[in-house]
Amino acid sequence: MPIYAYKCGSCGHAKDVLQKISDTPLTVCPACGAEAFSKQLTAPGFQLKGSGWYATDFKNSGSKPTASTSSTSESAAAPAAEPAPAPAAAPATANS
């Protein structure tokens, strides 16, 4: 069962409640009795473990190569190529 974070808009009382997904949301604050108790948006609390897709596909997603390393390796590996000149047009001959 998920744990939902609730907070009262009237008195500011906060509470974590273990509820089923199908349960109706709480509306009455247990501290002041006001009808201002509402669910809060929170980050999920789980961790993926093992060698699944998340470990192989996103293992280095947070690290980025430095700009100096990538620019020097690209310039040394592939020299700049100039476009080839267009072929000259053949002279037209008239057949009479």
State residue 81's pLDDT score: 57
Query: What tens digit of pLDDT does each residue of 28-74 get?
Result: 999 999 999 999 998 877 777 767 776 666 666 555 656 555 445 45
Q: What is the DSSP letter of 28?
A: S
Mean pLDDT computed over 16-29: 93
Give CA separation, 80 vs 28, 77, 83, in Å: 70, 10, 10
